[in-house]
Structure 1
Amino acid sequence: MTERVTLITGASAGIGTELARVFASKGHRVALVARRADRLEALAKEIKAAGGAAPIVIPCDLAQPDCGDRIAEALTAAGVEVEYLVNNAGFGVFGRAIQRDRSNQLEIIAVNIRALTDLSLRFSDHLIRNRGGLLNVGSIAGFLPGPGMAVYYASKAYVLSFTEAMRAELAPHGVRVTVLCPGPVPTEFQARAGFNPGYDSAVLNVSSADVAQQAYSGLMANKRAVLPGLGIKTVPFLLRLFPRSFILGAVGRFQLRQR
């Protein structure tokens, strides 16, 4: 019988690292994907030292179009199949879209949308064969437009829509599909995006370790969506109470105030 693994992208920091720790602690062998090989190797050593199965380390930049091929080749060489796929990798940049570097914003689409879609479709036959699961990391940003971070918000709206559709298509095959939609989480994301969180963000945030635990539990329970933290759970409901134009203006003022 072919050995099964949990493939986790963006595993070198933040929520991705915590998800790797959670899956490994629950007996899953993990395959770790990220750009920074040194961090992946350190995490792999940590997991192995804690008694977990030796992780498969796959250094790869998901912004590159051949990364999906490289991941598939590495898994084939290791003689494993994907049982659970965790599309965690993603990033954003703050500022007015028309003033930010265009190539950098296109990389957001490459990582947050193209790579996530590629891996979800590429390994869907593995998930079906192994009756596993798909966890896509979205954001509360996926529920609303985001002036001041337009491409990132739009990318997460795609993740939300795509994951819900995949859930409907894969359900008859016994595959769990969940979208994780956290709010502000203290990770390297903010620094890379050029964002300085204020008190309003601190009120809503949940630690990356807590987010990972809730995400794992939600996937195993086959929840449609996981929104970590009480404050975040109220956001989709509150959005129904206000006109879209009001939300657009409020988000724009909040986002651009963080600069």
Structure 2
Amino acid sequence: MADVLSRFNSGKLWDFKGGIHPPEMKSQSNSQPLRHLPLGTDFYIPLKQHLGTTGNLLIKEGDYVLKGQALTKGDGLRMLPVHAPTSGTIKSIKPYVATHPSGLDEPTIHLQADGLDQWIERNPIDDFSTLSSEQLIHKIYQAGIAGLGGAVFPTAAKIQSAEQKVKLLIINGAECEPYITCDDRLMRERADEIIKGIRILRYILHPEKVVIAIEDNKTRSHIGNPQCTTGSK
């Protein structure tokens, strides 16, 4: 690891041979800003949205729920809670066809929105440095955060397993597919929020170095600008 850190500190860009290079199709969407979709009327919420087992139900048919309310309860960091995307009434809890090429059924909550989009009471953290690493990991777990890769690995479990062991923290801003542009647009429009998240990870993991990995086709990303990273060293 010391050798890897010294290579990063040299400032040299490293390449590797091989791989495939399909045509990039990012121009179809990378010029469009992020935007909110209109609120839907019916939401179908799979109980399992992460690697691991399904949580235990906290609601039943006919219940009224608020946006952000936990619908399931986990038991351990690999069993994430699932939350209501908006306020409304639970119409059913039964198998529905999953959004997966297999076409298999998945235990799913049908939530009928009331159009109010009313939140539960929220308790934001004003200063994360007042909390311990364990408390922050628990907050991340309660939020139901999981990776967006194919494994959808629970983030809290990943952080806990790496706590006090990380020398080099790499923030992956690369996009592995030719069409996706979500990372690009987020780094353009939400750079400040991403940096705040990196600071929380750095506080928990205590790495010797943090590297933000960005592809050379993302020249408009603001995340590496000095005004975004000032005070992050």
The two structures have a TM-score, normalised by structure 1, of 0.27
The structure in which a higher percent of residues are helix is 1
Larger Rg, first or second structure (1 or 2) = 2
